[in-house]
Amino acid sequence: MIGRREGPLMRNNSHSLQKSRVLVAIAIGVFVGCVCAFLFPSGFFGSNAIPRRNYNLVGSKIQANSAECESSDRVNMLKSEFVAVSEKNAQLKKQVRELTERLQQAKQGSDQAQKQFLALGKQPKAGPFGTVQGLRTNPTVVPDESVNPRLAKILEKVAVQREVIVALANANVKEMLEVWFTNIKRVGITNYLVVALDDETSKFCESNQVPVYKRDPDEGVDTIGRSGGNHAVSGLKFRILREFLQLGYSVLLSDVDIVYLQNPFDHLIRDSDIESMSDGHNNMTAYGFNDVFDEPAMGWARYAHTMRIWVYNSGFFYIRPTIPSIELLDRVATRLSREKAWDQAVFNEELFYPSHPGYIGLHASRRTMDIYLFMNSKVLFKTVRKDDNLKKLKPIIIHVNYHPDKLPRMKAIVEFYVNGKQDALQPFPDGSDW
């Protein structure tokens, strides 16, 4: 079969028709696209596509916010930990500083004795056997009148060779105080001073031409001073005496239940920081003895040797203005401010207890006074008044410390030793009725 053969004209018409169809299709497509764009501006799939993108965006924001919250909590926690560590560090620094200061003070204290010794002169070599004697008398402190200028002026007038008798008194002991200063005047002692703890006592002393010192107002002291009993008032003296020592004066501290028969300054040895009368009633108890303790259960080691001495009387002692003396007053006053204790017991514990683990003892020299010259009332009424030889002795002072009926016994002592009434002491029992 032979195909039909086309001419040139037919080919041209066919080609033109195809081009027209393409153009019409393009035009229709453009028109349809414009209509769709107008009718569906978000597109056919906008409702599905956009929510998915929004969901992803919201999820990202939630995760971001969660991360931010966790980060903020972490920061706050770290800040709190930093503050706590800083406070603890500050406390540790404070403790280190305090411990360093204590160490320095302890070191200074340990060197104090050596410095005092060096201040006295060149270090000596040890002498021949049996000739060596240790230092007993500590150097006195440098007087500091700025501590109490008013008291300093009073002591300048009253003291003799920088020594003075000092007694604390309130209105409760007015009658005993009168016996006390009457006999001091009779003996001829001029260097004495009453520390009045209330206005009534101050006026009473002034009216009797007795040297008196009324302290500046101090509620802690004045409350006890106005109404306190013997023991309460006795505890104040350790605080008050400190000023006397700081001013450079040696003090013979005296309770008011003491009868003066001679001038005690003529009989002091002055070789120690503390020179005190004893509560002992014979040579053994007053000056010390070897007391053997027997414990049979120990067999061969049943006997234990102990050293005993009866306590010093805190109502009559001579104290020199030295560093150990001031330390003693500070220790006793501090303990009495914290404890309910008898001042005499604390006085002796601080004076005698040796250094031991956890405690540093006081390095103060001490001397016990002659018990028949500086006599307590137990020695007088239990022993001396019954012994014809001892009755001939004239004590320097007699302290009515063992008996509660103080005033009548004080008057009887004056009758016996001053007025010569030989039976004046006989009516009283050895001890007390209770």
Average pLDDT by consecutive 10-residue portion of the chain (434 residues)? 44 54 68 62 49 47 55 79 81 75 56 54 82 84 96 98 97 97 98 96 98 82 52 76 97 98 98 97 97 97 97 97 97 93 96 97 96 98 97 97 97 98 96 82
Q: Quote the pLDDT of residue 146.
A: 95
397, 258 contact by CB (below 8 A): yes
List domains and CATH numbers for the chain.
Answer: 145-283+312-417 (3.90.550.10)
- Count the alpha carbons within 13 Å of 403 in the hemisphere toward its beta carbon: 24
Determine the 3-state secondary structure of 114 from DSSP. Answer: helix
CB 168 within 8 A of CB 213: no
What are the Cα distances from residue 200, in Å, to 166, 170, 206, 212, 227? 18, 8, 10, 12, 12
Amino acid, single-letter form, for residue 137: T
Contact criterion met (CB below 8 Å) for 143 and 170: no
List Cα–Cα distances, 324 to 3, 28, 111, 247, 369, in angstroms.
Answer: 150, 123, 13, 15, 19
Rounded Cα distance between 325 and 331, Å, is: 10
pTM: 0.71
11: left (phi over 0), alpha (psi -120 to 50) or beta: alpha
Sign of the Cα pseudo-torsion (189, 263, 191, 148, in order): negative
Give the per-residue pLDDT at 431.
95
Which residues, 6+ apart, have CB-to-CB distance to 59 below 8 Å? none
What is the per-residue DSSP string for 3-39? PPPPPHHHHHHHHHHHHHHHHHHHHHHHHHHHHHHHH
Task: Supply the pLDDT for residue 11.
Answer: 47
Kindly list the distances between the CA atom of residue 151 and the CA atoms of 164, 168, 222, 242, 413, in Å, as whole numbers in the listed order. 12, 15, 17, 12, 33
Tokens of 119: 């201040």
Cβ distance 374 to 142 under 8 Å? no
- How far from chain centre, in Å, is Cα 318? 25
Q: What is the pLDDT of residue 209?
A: 98
pLDDT of residue 115: 57
pLDDT the model gives residue 222:
52
Collapsing DSSP to helix, strand or coil, 168 comes out as strand
- Dist. CA 333–CA 347, nearest whole Å: 9
Q: What per-residue confidence (pLDDT) applies to 263?
A: 98
